[in-house]
């Protein structure tokens, strides 16, 4: 056995380092998830988490990694054989595409070079060609964790509207949530996918779907098989502050603390801090004579 002095400092894009305040909050004893104390926590969190997504819509919280929330987003609103439009912006967009294919969806894949975000003009052109409205969803990764390439979500929304296309708009915010400005409601997103282990400063294990109004309507018609991920069951239990199955109680303690920290700093200041560190990193990379994507 070797002894390592000091504290392990994680230097990867995510999971990120969990602040001590959050770690301490999670070390409290696990409580009965069917009791009144949990109910109060559930109600507080289900309401409070909306702010980071910029929404007043319901936020479904899964005890799962981000991949689960990807799958949930697809199976809750789509049917076998539905066409979805996806863009090769990097590693995670490629993984989401593979999940869609395994779910039996027909992916219209726009190839890319992993160096730039989604081109809104291409979105519009692609959707204008689809006169029969066979495409049921447009899926975009907001921030490609593998490269740091971000897509301009409001401009993609604008392109969908310009093409007068009714497809649902789904956005992966797994590494942008709590790091880059994001506004589910204002930007007209139908389903937002998020996860705990990056800007939310939590360990891996929680993930999220924001359920827009149009997405909820599509949910009623969607025929892909779903059980664990079924929004209806979660939303029904959430009305009283509970979950249909055992929630990740200690991660929820952590979420409560993380939300308090984000609120104390203020989201605009959080985003400014991330932007400053991003710019510092880019300047360092340029000074080393390396290329920026
Ligand atoms: C942008 C993005 N999407 C999806 C995922 C997949 O999430 P997970 O690894 O938590 O299943 C990640 C993970 O890093 C990610 O960064």
Q: What is the mean pLDDT of residues 238-258?
A: 98
Q: Is the CB of 172 under 6 A from ligand 1?
A: yes
Q: What is the pLDDT of residues 257-288, one digit of tens each?
A: 999 999 999 999 999 999 999 999 999 999 99
194 lines ligand 1 (CB under 6 A): no
pLDDT score, position 3? 82
Q: Ligand 1 pocket, 195 CB below 6 A?
A: yes
The string of DSSP letters for the chain reads -----S-----SSSSPPPPHHHHHHHTSPP--TTSHHHHHHHHHHHHHTHHHHT-SS-EEEESS-HHHHHHHHHHHH--TT-EEEEE--SHHHHHHHHHHHHTT-EEEEE---SSS---HHHHHHHHHH-TT--EEEEEEESEETTTTEE--HHHHHHHHHHTT---EEEEE-TTTTTTS---TTTTT-SEEEEESSSTT---S--EEEEE-HHHHHHHHH--S--STT-HHHHHHHHTTT--SS---HHHHHHHHHHHHHHHHH-HHHHHHHHHHHHHHHHHHHHHTTPPP-
Q: How far is the CA of 248 from the centre of ligand 1 (A)?
A: 19
Q: How far is the CA of 35 from the centre of ligand 1 (A)?
A: 32
d(CA 205, ligand 1 centre) in Å: 11
Residue 13, classified by CB atoms within 10 Å of its CB into exposed (0-12), middle (13-18) or buried (19+), is: middle
| Residue 65 in contact with ligand 1 by CB distance below 6 A | yes
Domain ranges of the chain: 21-282
Q: What is the pLDDT of residues 112-169, one digit of tens each?
A: 999 999 999 999 999 999 999 999 999 999 999 988 999 999 999 999 999 999 999 9
- Report the sign of the C-alpha dihedral through residues 287, 288, 289, 293, in that order: negative
Two tokens, residue 129: 């060609």
Could you tell me which of 183, 196, 130 has the C-alpha nearest to residue 157? 183
List, for residues 193-212, the tens digit of each pLDDT value.
999 999 999 999 999 999 99
- Report pTM: 0.97
C-alpha dist (Å) from residue 207 to 94, 172, 179, 259 = 19, 11, 16, 15
Backbone angles phi, psi at 208, to 5 degrees: -140, 150
Strand partners, 144: 149
Residue 53 CA to residue 260 CA, distance in Å, equals 15
Average pLDDT, the chain: 97
How confident is the model at residue 6, as a pLDDT? 87
Atom of ligand 1 nearest to the CA of 67: 11
CATH class of the domain defined by 21-282:
alpha beta
């Amino acid at each position: 056995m070797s002894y390592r002095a000091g504290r392990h400092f994680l230097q990867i894009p995510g999971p990120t380092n969990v602040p001590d305040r959050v770690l301490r909050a999670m070390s409290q004893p696990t409580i009965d998830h069917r009791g009144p104390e949990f109910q109060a926590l559930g109600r507080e969190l289900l309401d409070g988490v909306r702010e980071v997504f910029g929404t007043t819509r319901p936020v479904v919280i899964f005890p799962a990694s981000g991949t689960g929330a990807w799958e949930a987003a697809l199976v809750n609103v789509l049917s076998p054989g539905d066409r979805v439009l996806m863009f090769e912006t990097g590693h995670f967009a490629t993984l989401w595409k593979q999940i869609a294919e395994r779910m039996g969806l027909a992916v219209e894949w726009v190839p890319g070079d992993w160096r730039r975000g989604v081109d809104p003009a291409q979105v519009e052109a692609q959707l204008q060609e689809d006169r029969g409205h066979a495409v049921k969803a447009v899926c975009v990764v907001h921030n490609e964790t593998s490269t740091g390439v971000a897509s301009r979500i409001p401009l993609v929304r604008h392109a969908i509207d310009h093409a007068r296309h009714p497809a649902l708009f789904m956005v992966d915010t797994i590494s942008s949530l709590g790091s880059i400005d994001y506004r589910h409601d204002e930007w007209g997103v139908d389903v937002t996918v998020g996860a705990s282990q990056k800007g939310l400063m939590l360990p891996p294990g929680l993930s999220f779907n924001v359920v827009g109004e149009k997405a909820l309507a599509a949910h009623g018609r969607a025929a892909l098989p779903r059980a664990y991920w079924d929004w209806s069951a979660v939303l029904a239990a959430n009305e009283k502050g509970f979950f249909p199955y055992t929630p990740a109680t200690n991660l929820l303690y952590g979420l409560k603390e993380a939300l308090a920290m984000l609120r104390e700093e203020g989201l605009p200041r959080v985003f400014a801090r991330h932007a400053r560190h991003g710019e510092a990193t880019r300047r360092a990379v340029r000074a080393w004579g390396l290329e920026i994507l």
